[in-house]
C-alpha cells in the first residue's frame, strides 16, 4: 500500500511493482516467461489509456537565462576538454537562443521565456552566469563575437548591479523593482552565487583583455565579502575559486595559427587536455596584421606564428616565455609553473 509521504498515513491505494524476478513469477504462475511479459505489456497499455483520461499535471516548460548560462558553461567546457563537438554545439545552440530571444533592444537581458514571449527584468545571476557561459564558449570556438558579447553584458551588469559605495553586486538591478532593500547574495550552494561567478568572470576578462579595471573590481568584490568567507569558508566555494585565480599565478596563453589547421587544432587540444584552472586561452589568427581579437586583447597583435606553424605563447602574469611550436613544450611550461 502507498503511504502518504507528508503525513505517513496509509492511503489504501497501491503502486504496482515487481517484488521478484519475472522468471520466478512465471514459475509460480506456471506459464512461460514470454507469456508473462506479453500479459504485463497488455496491462501496461490498459493502465496508460486509463491515465490519459486524467487531468494532466502542470508542466514547467519555461526557459531561464541564468540556468541556461550554467548549461552553456558546462557544455562548452566539457566539449573542449573531452574534444566532443556535440557538447560545444549544444552550448552554441543555447547561447544563440538566449541572445536571440531573451534580450531587450538595448541589449539588457530578460529572465524568462515561455510560449514565444520573454519577460521579467534580468537579475545578477542571469548576467553573471551567461557571461560565464560565453567565456567558456569563446575558449571552445574562439569566435570573437562571443567575447564581444560577454564584455558588453559584463559592462551592463556593472552599470546596473555594482555597489560603488561598498563593493559587490546587488541581486536586483537599480530601479528594476520597488524593493525595501536590495540584497547581495554570495552563498554558494547547489548553484553558485552571482557575485562569485561575476568575480571570476571579471578576473578572466581582465586577463584576456589586459584591462586592470576589471581586476580592481574583482578585488573590491572579494573584500566586500571577506569577513563572511573568514567565518565559514565552506559556504563560499565558488568565491574561493575566484580568489585563488586572483592570487595567482595565472597563465595567459595565446595560440597563433590558422584555426582549422591540424597543427593549430593539435596545439589547442593539448592545451585543453591539461587541468590548469587558472588560465585564459586566446586564439590569434595567422595571416592578419590587424586581427579582430586585437581590438579586445591588443597584446596578441605581435604574437604571430613561427615559420607559419601553429605557435603557443605561454605567459605567467604577462611575463612570456619563448614561443614554441611544440605542444609537449607547452605542457612542460604549464606544469613547471603551475602552483
Q: What is the pLDDT of residues 194-246, one digit of tens each?
A: 999 999 999 999 999 999 999 999 999 999 999 999 999 999 999 999 999 99
Taking each helix axis from N to C terminus, what angle separates 124-141 and 194-209, rounded to the nearest 10 degrees?
40
User: Cβ(109)–Cβ(176) under 8 Å?
Assistant: no
Residue of 67 and 2 predicted with greater confidence: 67
- pLDDT at 178 > cutoff 90: no
Output the pTM of the full model.
0.85
Class of domain 251-337: alpha beta
Grid coordinates standing for 309?
606553424
- Read off the pLDDT of residues 42-84 as tens digits, 9 standing for 90 and up: 999 999 999 899 888 888 889 999 999 999 999 999 999 999 9
Q: How many helices (H) and strands (E) does the chain have?
A: 12, 7
Residue of 15 and 285 predicted with greater confidence: 285
- pLDDT at 15 > cutoff 90: no
Topology of domain 63-247 in CATH is Glycosyltransferase (1.50.10)
How many CB atoms are located within 10 Å of the residue 24 CB? Answer: 12
User: Cβ(330)–Cβ(314) under 8 Å?
Assistant: yes
- What pLDDT was estimated at residue 189? 94
- Read off the pLDDT of residues 97-151 as tens digits, 9 standing for 90 and up: 999 999 999 999 999 999 899 999 999 999 999 999 999 999 999 999 999 999 9
- Hey, where are the domains in the chain? 63-247, 251-337
**CA terminus-to-terminus distance, the chain:** 58
- In this prediction, residue 10 has a pLDDT band, given cuts at 50, 70 and 90, of confident
- pLDDT at 339 > cutoff 60: no
Amino acid at each position: 500500500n502507498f503511504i502518504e509521504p507528508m503525513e505517513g498515513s496509509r492511503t489504501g491505494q497501491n503502486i504496482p511493482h515487481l517484488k521478484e524476478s519475472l522468471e520466478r513469477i512465471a514459475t509460480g504462475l506456471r506459464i512461460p516467461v514470454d507469456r508473462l511479459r506479453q500479459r504485463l505489456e497488455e496491462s501496461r497499455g490498459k493502465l496508460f489509456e486509463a491515465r490519459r483520461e486524467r487531468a494532466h499535471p502542470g508542466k514547467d516548460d519555461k526557459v531561464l537565462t541564468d540556468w541556461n548560462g550554467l548549461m552553456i558553461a558546462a557544455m562548452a567546457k566539457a566539449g573542449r576538454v573531452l574534444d566532443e563537438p556535440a557538447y560545444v554545439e549544444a552550448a552554441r545552440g543555447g547561447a544563440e537562443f538566449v541572445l536571440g530571444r531573451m534580450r531587450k533592444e538595448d541589449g539588457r537581458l530578460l529572465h524568462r521565456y515561455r510560449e514565444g514571449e520573454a519577460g521579467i527584468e534580468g537579475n545578477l545571476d542571469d548576467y553573471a552566469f551567461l557571461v560565464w557561459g560565453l567565456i567558456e564558449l569563446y575558449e571552445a570556438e574562439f569566435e570573437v563575437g562571443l567575447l564581444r558579447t560577454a564584455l558588453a553584458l559584463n559592462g551592463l551588469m556593472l552599470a546596473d548591479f555594482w555597489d560603488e559605495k561598498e563593493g559587490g553586486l546587488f541581486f536586483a538591478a537599480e530601479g528594476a523593482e520597488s524593493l525595501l532593500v536590495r540584497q547581495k547574495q554570495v552563498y554558494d550552494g547547489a548553484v553558485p552565487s552571482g557575485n562569485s561567478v561575476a568575480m571570476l568572470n571579471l578576473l578572466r576578462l581582465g586577463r584576456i583583455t589586459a584591462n586592470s579595471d576589471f581586476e580592481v573590481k574583482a578585488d573590491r568584490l572579494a573584500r566586500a565579502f571577506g569577513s563572511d568567507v573568514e567565518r565559514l569558508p565552506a559556504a563560499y566555494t565558488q568565491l574561493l575559486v575566484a580568489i585563488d585565480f586572483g592570487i595567482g599565478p595565472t597563465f595567459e596563453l595565446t595560440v597563433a595559427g590558422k584555426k582549422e589547421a591540424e597543427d593549430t587544432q593539435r596545439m589547442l587540444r593539448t592545451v585543453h587536455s591539461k587541468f590548469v584552472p587558472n588560465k585564459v586561452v586566446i586564439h590569434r589568427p595567422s595571416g592578419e596584421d590587424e586581427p579582430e581579437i586585437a581590438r579586445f586583447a591588443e597584446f596578441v597583435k605581435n604574437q604571430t606564428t613561427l615559420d607559419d606553424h601553429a605557435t603557443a605563447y605561454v605567459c605567467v602574469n604577462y611575463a612570456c616565455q619563448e614561443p614554441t611550436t611544440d605542444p609537449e613544450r607547452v605542457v612542460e611550461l604549464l606544469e613547471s609553473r603551475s602552483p
